Structure 1
Amino acid sequence: MHKLLLTTAALAALATSGTANAAIVMGELTGGSALNNGGVFQQLNPMPGFNVGNNNQQSLNLFAFDEQQNVTLGAAIGGLAAGTVVNSHYVFFDSGPSRRAIGYVDFDSDILAVLDAKSDMDLTDASLGNPNVNYISVALRGLEGADSFNVMGDRLNVNFRASDPGDYIRVLTAAPAVPEPATWAMMIGGFGLVGGALRRRRKMATKVSYA
């Protein structure tokens, strides 16, 4: 039984080890006129055909959603070298009337880079963007002089002032390490040996009784 349970657990882990996903954990609006007028942080799970950009949301909320995961960069971007493995996320504020959003977004791995220029986001929509999303690129896509952000490990702090067409950034986080198949095979073999040892120990146990 021990051998079966351990090996089954190892095989389940192996079956899910092909991807290294990182995700948005939480976020919050902490200040600004957006919060004062009822805005909140909202994490999205876009369905096919979802449009983002160019006044499509017109909301007081600070939005974020996960994009493609475990992507190897084909070229250097955002200060990261080609070959870096990243997970991608999109954070934006599209208020319509001019409003300020101050808040944060937490991720489950460290932030490696933030793409806040139209050219960088246009260049990476296909390779890093969510396949369910239509990214509408306009002249003011990205951030402007009244916007700022800073990174503290896995937390992104934002201070956005947006009107039309909104503020948009792409956040690249570290992809968690995934054990190689050979490593998993060794682990499964080890689990099997442990299970076998437990079975042999039970067989060798002697029951002693006293009259």
Structure 2
Amino acid sequence: MRKFLMAAVAAGSLFTAGSASAAVVMGELTGGSAFRNGGVFEELNPGPGFSVGRNNQQSNNLFAFNEQQGVALTAAVGGLAAGTLVNSHYVFFDPAGGRRARGYVDFDSDILGVLTTRGPLSSTDTLLGLSNVNYLNPGARGLEGNDRFSIAGNRINVDFRASSPGDFVRVLTAAPAVPEPATWAMMIGGFGLVGGALRRRRKMTTKVSYA
């Protein structure tokens, strides 16, 4: 019976993986003048009418929020081919006056690409951004020459120096593929076989008693 139970667990994990989405796990501000002036990492859940992109926050905090999940790119962008399935996240630093922020943000799946300039950011706002967020698009949107970032698996390390309008990136992480209908049918059939085998095993079990 242990083999049948293991098969059921494996099939269940396939269902879970197909419907999962990636999200911000955690982040931290670790250095820079923003950190020394009380800045922290803050994950946002933007409500209707939220605006970002042109001195809207004026905060020492490093911000991030989740955008669209499980989206197939309609065109090549950020080194990724059209059709790549991604989850999107927005990471930004919008201080009042010139500040520096060093820190990181972790996601629950690997980072595939980072959009750092105005063109790719604005061209993906509709596809990957949230419909209730107003993404402003000033000429200096994105990162500039003195900004740095690096990627290590599911982590983006940032070293941003920002004033007006701030520093903004869109982080694209790996989205699990949703099984095709035929795959769903095979998994459902597998559950049926497991159930039938367990029922037959119970019927074959006999009870022995001694007088």
Q: Distance in 2 between matches of 1:70 and 1:151?
A: 21
Q: Identity, % of aligned pairs? A: 71
User: Quick check: 1:171 aligned with 2:184?
Assistant: no
Write the deviation string for residues 96-124 of structure 1: whole angstroms up to 9, x where unpaired: 12111000011111111111101111111
Q: Distance in 2 between matches of 1:206 and 1:110?
A: 52
Write the deviation string for residues 115-143 of structure 1: whole angstroms up to 9, x where unpaired: 11011111111111111210011111111
User: Quick check: 1:43 aligned with 2:43?
Assistant: yes
Measured after TM superposition, the shift of residue 17 of structure 1 is 7.2
Write the deviation string for residues 19-63 of structure 1: whole angstroms up to 9, x where unpaired: 552111111111111111111101111111111111110111000
Counterpart amino acid of residue 23 in structure 2? A
1:44-83 → structure 2 map (5 Å cutoff): 44-83=44-83
In structure 2, the partner of 1:91 is 91
Gaps of 5+ in 2: 1-6
For the Cα contact (< 8 Å) 1:96–1:165, is it kept in 2?
Answer: no
Q: Distance in 1 between matches of 2:195 and 2:33?
A: 61
Q: Distance in 1 between matches of 2:81 and 2:53?
A: 28
1:4-43 → structure 2 map (5 Å cutoff): 19-43=19-43
SS of 2:143's equivalent? coil
Write the deviation string for residues 150-174 of structure 1: whole angstroms up to 9, x where unpaired: 1111110000011111100111111
SS of 1:27's equivalent? strand
Q: TM-score, normalised by structure 2?
A: 0.89
Q: Distance in 1 between matches of 2:195 and 2:19?
A: 28
Q: Distance in 1 between matches of 2:19 and 2:133?
A: 21
Q: TM-score, normalised by structure 1?
A: 0.89
**RMSD of aligned alpha carbons:** 2.2
Q: Distance in 1 between matches of 2:129 and 2:178?
A: 22
Counterpart amino acid of residue 128 in structure 2? L
Measured after TM superposition, the shift of residue 204 of structure 1 is 2.3
Measured after TM superposition, the shift of residue 178 of structure 1 is 2.3
Counterpart amino acid of residue 32 in structure 1? G
Alignment length, in residue pairs? Answer: 204
